[in-house]
Amino acid sequence: MRQWSIAMACRPCSFFFGRNPRTPLTVDLPASAVDPTSLDFVLSFQNRLQQALDVGREGQVRMVAAMDHLRDPTLQYQVGEWAWLASSETPVPGDKHFQCKWMGPFRILDKTISTVSLELPEHWQLTSNTFHVDKIKPYVLREGQPPPPPRPKRFKARPPTALGHIRRISAHRRTGRMQADGRRAQLQYFVHWVGLPQAYGEWLNVEEVLRLPRAEEHIATYCRVFAVPHP
C-alpha cells in the first residue's frame, strides 16, 4: 500500500474513485458521486490496456502463421516411428566440434503440432522427454532395412557385470565431497557399450568400471588418445 502511494502519488481509492472514503462504508459510491476527471482517466486507461492486449494477440497470430509457413508440410511424425534427437539436448558429454550432431534413434511416444515425446533412456534423468520439432530429425528406414532393435531403458537395475562389454571411454569426472587435495572423492568414467549407440552410454563409478572386462586397457587408451593424465 505504501509503495503504491509513493509510485502513484495518491491512494488507491483516490486513484480509482476520485476521492478518499471517510469510512469503509463509503467505498462503493455511485457513478454520479465519482469525480468526472478521475472517471475519464480510469476509462481511458482501461481502453488503452485492452488495445495493448488486442495488439499482443494479433502479434501471436501473425507469429504462428509465419512459423506454419516455414514448416515443411510433408514432414509429419507418427507415434511408433523412430527419430533422431539433437545431441545438444542430451547429457552425453563431448566436444561439440567432434560430437555427433544427432543421437538415437528413439521411438516416438506422443506428438503435437510442434512437439514430439521420445522414449529416452531413464538413466539420462531429464526433466522432460518432450522436444520441439526443430530438435528432432526423422529416422529413414531404407528398403529392406530392419527397424532398430529394442533399446534398454535402464541399466542401473542390473549389476555392472551384466551391462556388457566396454566399447570405449570418452570422458571422466569427479563428484562427491571435496577432499584435502582439492579434488572430489568419487571418480567416474563415461562408458560406451558394445552393440549400443553412443546415446546409451552412461556414467559409472570407477569401482564398477574396474569389474568389467578389459577395463584397465580401455582406461589407458582413453588417457593416451585424449592426452589426459591418469585420474
Residue % of the chain over a pLDDT of 90: 1
**Side-chain half-sphere exposure of 215, counting CA atoms within 13 A:** 18
pLDDT band at 114 (very low <50, low <70, confident <90, very high): confident
181 burial level (CB within 10 Å; 0-12, 13-18, 19+) = exposed
**Predicted pLDDT at 3:** 58
Please report, to the nearest 10 degrees, the dihedral formed by the alpha carbons of residues 216, 220, 222, 227 taken in order: 160
Taking the C-alpha atoms of residue 166 and residue 92, their distance in angstroms, rounded to an integer, is 16
The arithmetic mean of pLDDT across residues 24-51, rounded, is 70
Residue of 118, 226, 90, 112 whose CA lies nearest to 170: 226
Query: Do residues 172 and 184 touch, judged by C-beta distance below 8 A?
Result: no
Enter the C-alpha cell of residue 82: 523412430
- Return the C-alpha cell found at 163: 551391462
- Show Cβ contacts of residue 228 under 8 Å, excluding neighbours closer than 6 positions: 172, 222
Sequence-ordered list of residues with C-beta below 8 angstroms from that of 179, at least 6 positions apart, any chain: 185
Average pLDDT over the chain, rounded to whole?
Answer: 76
- The predicted structure's pLDDT at residue 10: 66
Q: Do 190 and 172 contact (CB within 8 A), yes or no?
A: yes
Is residue 11 within 8 A of residue 5, CB to CB? The reply is yes
Question: pLDDT value at position 113?
Answer: 77
b/e burial code for range 7-42 (CB count within 10 A of at least 16 → b):
eeeeeeebbebbeeeeeeeeeeeeeeebeeebeeee
- The string of pLDDT tens digits covering residues 66-85 is 777 766 666 778 888 888 88
Set of cell numbers at residue 108: 516416438
Q: pTM score, two decimals?
A: 0.52
Query: What is the tens place of the pLDDT at every residue in 155-177?
Result: 544 445 555 688 888 888 888 78
